[in-house]
Amino acid sequence: MANELQPAEQDLVKSTRNIVFERLSAQGAGHGMEHVERVWGLAKRIQASEGGQLLSIELGALLHDVGDAKFHQGQERSGEFAREILGNLQARQDVIESVVHIVDSISFRKDLPASKLTLEAKIVQDADRIDALGAIGIVRAIEFGASRGQPFFLPGDESEATCSHRSTISHFYKKLFKLRKRLNTPFAKAMTHQREKFMNSFLAQYFSEYE
Ligand code: ADP
Ligand code: NI
């Protein structure tokens, strides 16, 4: 297991990071880069514990939202953009294929079975999901909801069974509280226990103040 990048690989990662940063800023998704930087960091930590090819994991993390459907008329274009960016940077073909697989296969909406994912894709998917949890996950959900003009709380949102399906709190039940069970790696599961506990206590506190 290669745990350190060669100098040429480090340059490829650095160039990729800069291109992703430019593209996300240009499309007014500058805050998206903070998410990408966290996912990159998380993916490196998971790789250090679980293995997998480090170069593809780093590139996959950096490129995983580069063609986010939210900014491309509902069409997910990250795989296509990853291929173009890495091709221009003259990355090796096997690295490009591995990264495109990661980027194309990890989305929650696609919901591919883990058996269809490489170890590298499992790791980047875990990193992306971890960043939807905990205090950071709560802030991201609030920001997303606010950007859509979605109410944070609606009557019924105190439980999954009765939730409104139209609020940010509903998103906690529909997605966020389902994520931890679906993480691929033991390392990711262990590090999200506290994040899930915090989300639960945040909601309990919110409901107690609301009463
Ligand atoms: P990513 O592409 O990083 O997996 P998404 O684009 O699906 O994430 O969502 C971005 C952020 O917005 C995540 O933190 C997610 O939990 C949150 N989010 C997505 N859909 C909703 C929603 N309907 N209400 C509130 N938050 C949402
Ligand atoms: Ni993401």
Task: Give the CATH number, domain containing residue 190.
Answer: 1.20.58.1910
Domain region containing 145: 132-211
- On whether residue 123 sits in a domain, the answer given is no
Confidence of residue 88 (pLDDT cuts 50, 70, 90): very high
DSSP state at residue 114 = G
If asked whether residues 105 and 174 sit together in one domain, one would say no
Q: Do 106 and 64 form a contact (C-beta atoms < 8 A)? A: yes
| 200, pLDDT greater than 80 | yes
Report d(CA 168, CA 148) in Å as an integer. Answer: 10
- The residue-averaged pLDDT of 67-76 equals 90
Instruction: Please report, for residues 13, 14, 121, the alpha-carbon distance to residue 86 in angstroms, rounded to integers and kept in the order given.
Output: 10, 12, 17
Domain count, the chain: 2
Which residues fall inside 5 Å of ion ligand 2, going by CB? 65, 128
For a ligand 1 pocket test, name from 35, 63, 144 the mutation site with the most ligand atoms within 8 angstroms of its C-beta: 144
- On whether residue 118 sits in a domain, the answer given is no
If asked whether residues 73 and 175 sit together in one domain, one would say no
| 2, pLDDT greater than 60 | no
- On whether residue 187 sits in a domain, the answer given is yes
Ligand 1 and 141: CB distance under 6 A: yes
If asked whether residues 210 and 108 sit together in one domain, one would say no
- Model confidence over 124-173: pLDDT tens digits? 999 999 999 999 999 999 999 999 999 999 999 999 999 999 999 999 99
- The residue-averaged pLDDT of 70-84 equals 93
- On whether residue 125 sits in a domain, the answer given is no
Report CA(129)–ligand 1 centroid distance (Å): 10
Report CA(60)–ligand 2 centroid distance (Å): 11
Ligand 1 and 105: CB distance under 6 A: no
Index of the ligand 1 atom closest to the CA of residue 64: 2
pLDDT at 211: 82
Residue owning the nearest CA to atom 24 of ligand 1: 168
If asked whether residues 13 and 106 sit together in one domain, one would say yes
Query: Exposed, middle or buried by CB within 10 Å (0-12, 13-18, 19+), for 175?
Result: middle
- On whether residue 200 sits in a domain, the answer given is yes
Confidence of residue 107 (pLDDT cuts 50, 70, 90): confident
If asked whether residues 108 and 172 sit together in one domain, one would say no
Beta strands in the chain (DSSP E): none
